[in-house]
Amino acid sequence: MERSLLEPVEQPQFPPGLTLRQMNPTTDKLAWLELLNEIFLDHWNHHPVTLETMEHWLEEPHYKPELDLIAVADDGSFAALCFCEILPEYSDRIGKKVGFIEVLGTRRNYRRMGLGKAMLLAGLQRLQDKGIEFARLGVDADNPNGALQLYESVGFTKQLTKMAFFKDI
């Protein structure tokens, strides 16, 4: 899916008791990793992410902490995340400035209160602030939590459809 960032992005509205901040790769990585794995536990083809994999992501030359956002509850627990990425080589290759919403998710007890939308809008604003012209993401159209409708509600449109077929052996 893709959305233009050449047009205004709606201001995120965070539910009471939740604040936005960027993830600190040194102090937050274990809580972030726990949140990530919990969020996607019941999603199609989910495989738990290991600390080793996460540390590899954090060492990537294009990783930018200011694009790695978390929503924190008043008690200090992590409620949601939005990890965005900019790959300059990709933008150069296709001739337009593209950023990605790589991961967006909300902990179960914080769902259905607008937090996912607030995190998505915050991520889009961060990409826009970096001069990105288009945001892209991939989504499982059968996502049980209504992700497709969320993305469409903020202006994303389908660009490509992939189908996966599996057979148990």
Q: Provide the CATH topology of domain 2-153.
A: Aminopeptidase (3.40.630)
What's the CA gap between 85 and 63, in Å, rounded? 7
What's the CA gap between 58 and 29, in Å, rounded? 9
- pLDDT higher than 70, residue 141: no
pLDDT in tens, 76-125: 999 999 999 999 999 999 999 999 999 999 999 999 999 999 999 999 99
Could you tell me whether strands 98-106 and 134-136 are parallel, antiparallel, or unpaired per DSSP bridges?
parallel
pTM recorded for the entire structure: 0.89
Q: Per-domain residue ranges for the chain?
A: 2-153
